[in-house]
Amino acid sequence: MEKELRLMKGNEAVAEAAIRAGADGYFGYPITPQSEVLEYLMEAKPHERTGMVVLQAESEVAAINMVYGGAACGKRVMTSSSSPGISLKQEGISYIAGAELPCLVVNVVRGGPGLGTIQPSQSDYFQATKGGGHGDYHLIVLAPSSVQEMADFVDLAFELAFKYRNPVMMLSDGAIGQMMEKVWLSPQKERSKTVPEWATTGKPPTRERVIITSLDLDPMAQERFNQKLIAKYNEIREKEVRYEEFQCEDAEYLFVAYGTSARVCQKSIQLARAQGIKAGLLRPVTLFPFPVNRLNELADKVKMMISVEMSAGQMVEDVMLASNGKVPVYHYGRMGGMVPEPEEVTDFLKSKI
Amino acid sequence: MTEEILIAGFGGQGVLSMGKIMAYSAMMQDMEVSWMPSYGPEMRGGTANVIVIISDERISSPIIRHFDTGILLNQQSLDKFEDSIKPGGVLVYDGNGINRHPVRKDISIFRIDAAEEAGRMKSPKVNNMIVLGGFMKIKPIITLENVIKGLKKSLPERYHNLIPVNETALQRGMEIIREV
């Protein structure tokens, strides 16, 4: 089977890719700017195509707990929402992380705090990468910067989620969700028929009961579990870092940006280079694990780093930690649903040289 | 080749769908495309705009400030975006309801009375196809053949009987656009 070329919105690409990835279930609740995910799935009738269940829950809290239930049965399940809705899901996400279950949560970020705006933002970086819910846990966080990646990362997310028994978040934003680009869709995968041995699907006489829980009354046992999680996160840090570099070979000034901001920076680099300024970009594809080592290496080669984010300055803290004081690190950001224009990013760089 | 286009006008004027058909047609021609709408409160009445980028290279920022071509279909858009066109670029506008006409001397300005022509064709909905025809005449990037394919793909089948009138509209647009 060959790949199929389509012109799609990022949100639609996520939905179609979920069907094609052989997802078993999607549970969601509408919110701008990601409502097209649920709308597309409803219209595409995946139940007739693959048997995939699509359900509009009564709330975000219900949706994430349906994901929890589906994941506990070993199914490939997902939900999507936008910032305020993701906040509502945080309790469930913490439980899923605590129960070591795989799932995909898509956040098409909009301006905040509170209800904020419906325009694109990246102000949920801390929430996505540092926890979000309570307790010591991490999500694996993928940051698409094109409609193609919105599609491709669905499959990748399920692969990583099952490999590590860990929830994966796709941290997108309103621009990538609403924008149309061409996208090559993978052929339909069959839904998996194998049941993981940890799944709660009823106890046969041949084995002990399987228990899925995030509760432990014994603090010593809980600490051992915490240590197990740390070991898992360290393995993820070691093996799953993904990033992309643009014109870093001779760069003297390095932008660090993900998602829509990374697209803006590519144009800013063109503008800067046309004026003889050697700029480059490191685009983290995984925000957790963060490309710490590569940034540390680049800090030996460049004169300055600028974290460009649609936020008040969140990822900049990780850039500072990674570069470890070797070079000056600045933040340039727009907030509230404003997207930086390439010219203003180039101007900011020039103001710091 | 990279063509950065802004299309702006009233909601309901077919701004977003014109952009979509452009993007689809360019994709059929093996080019890279992006279509970035304003999706805020604007789309619930008032003004609508969309940035369409067509390129033979990977597209960097889908959100930009300066455009090769501005297709500005009402007074509000003309006032707001006339200055956003790159020097040497192209401005296309519909004279319908315009009191303050474009004034820049460093760009090529084309007028297309699409609303009037659509009225004459007794088919107000093909307004945007007349404008698109005009654009195709002055910037021959996408072909008529691919636009028709794009229409077939983006219109639900029950509206496919409207494709001939859309094709006529595209051709009328090519005929009536004029440089001012």
A178 touches chain B (CB under 8 A): yes
| CB A67, CB A96: distance < 8 Å | yes
Which CATH number characterizes residue A51's domain? Answer: 3.40.50.970
pLDDT score for B153: 80
User: Which residue in chain B is spatially nearest to A174 when comparing CA positions?
Assistant: B39
Taken in order of first residue, the domains within chain B and their CATH numbers are 2-179 (3.40.920.10)
Domain check: are A182 and A249 in the same one?
no
Q: Best of B20, B27, B61, B86 to disrupt the A interface by mutation (most A CBs within 10 Å)? A: B61
Which CATH number characterizes residue A308's domain? Answer: 3.40.50.920
Residue A252 CB-half CA count within 13 A: 9
User: Which residue in chain A is spatially nearest to B53 when comparing CA positions?
Assistant: A181
Compute the distance between CA of residue A268 and CA of residue A263 in angstroms, rounded to an integer. 9
Domain check: are A255 and A310 in the same one?
yes
Compute the distance between CA of residue B144 and CA of residue B136 in angstroms, rounded to an integer. 8
A262 touches chain B (CB under 8 A): no
pLDDT score for B156: 85
- CA-CA-CA-CA dihedral for B56, B57, B60, B64, to nearest 10: -30
Compute the distance between CA of residue A248 and CA of residue A163 in angstroms, rounded to an integer. 32
What's the pLDDT band for B5 if we cut at 50, 70, 90?
A: very high
Domain check: are A32 and A133 in the same one?
yes
A342 touches chain B (CB under 8 A): yes
DSSP H or E stretch at residue A220:
helix A219-239
Burial code of A83-110, b = ≥16 C-beta within 10 A, e = fewer?
A: bebbbbbbebbbbbbbbbbbbbbbbbbb
Q: What are the pLDDT digits (tens) for A212-241? A: 999 999 999 999 999 999 999 999 999 999
Tally of domains in chain A? 2
| CB A175, CB B63: distance < 8 Å | yes
- CB contacts of A267 in chain B (<8 Å) are 60-61, 64
Compute the distance between CA of residue A96 and CA of residue A90 in angstroms, rounded to an integer. 10
| CB B18, CB B132: distance < 8 Å | yes
Last residue of a domain, one of A238, A269, A294: A238
How close does chain A come to B25, measured CA to CA in Å?
10
Domain check: are A133 and A260 in the same one?
no
Compute the distance between CA of residue B166 and CA of residue B131 in angstroms, rounded to an integer. 11
With an 8 Å Cβ cutoff, are B33 and A181 in contact?
yes
Instruction: Establish whether this prediction's ipTM goes over 0.90.
Output: yes
Please list, in sequence order, all residues whose beta carbon lies within 8 angstroms of the beta carbon of residue A288, skipping any fewer than 6 positions away: A128, A129, A138, A139, A140, A141, A236
Compute the distance between CA of residue B34 and CA of residue B66 in angstroms, rounded to an integer. 15
Which strands sit side by side in the sheet containing A243-246, from one edge to the other? A243-246, A279-284, A253-256, A304-309, A329-333
Domain check: are A234 and A275 in the same one?
no
What's the pLDDT band for A346 if we cut at 50, 70, 90?
A: very high
With an 8 Å Cβ cutoff, are A7 and B35 in contact?
yes
Percentage of the residues of chain A whose pLDDT score is greater than 70: 100
> Chain-centre distance of CA A18, in angstroms?
15
| CB B34, CB A179: distance < 8 Å | yes
Domain check: are A8 and A131 in the same one?
yes
Stretch A251-279: mean pLDDT, rounded? 98
How close does chain A come to B120, measured CA to CA in Å?
33
pLDDT score for B49: 92
Query: Which residues is A109 bridged to in the sheet?
Result: A173
Q: What are the pLDDT digits (tens) for B87-127? A: 999 999 999 989 999 999 999 999 999 999 999 999 988 99
Q: Domain range for residue A260?
A: 244-352
With an 8 Å Cβ cutoff, are B39 and A342 in contact?
no
Per-residue pLDDT at A246 exceeds 90: yes
The B-side interface with A (CB below 8 A) comprises 20, 23-24, 27, 32-37, 39-40, 59-66
What's the pLDDT band for A119 if we cut at 50, 70, 90?
A: very high
Last residue of a domain, one of A211, A238, A265: A238
> Chain-centre distance of CA A91, in angstroms?
18
- CB contacts of A172 in chain B (<8 Å) are none
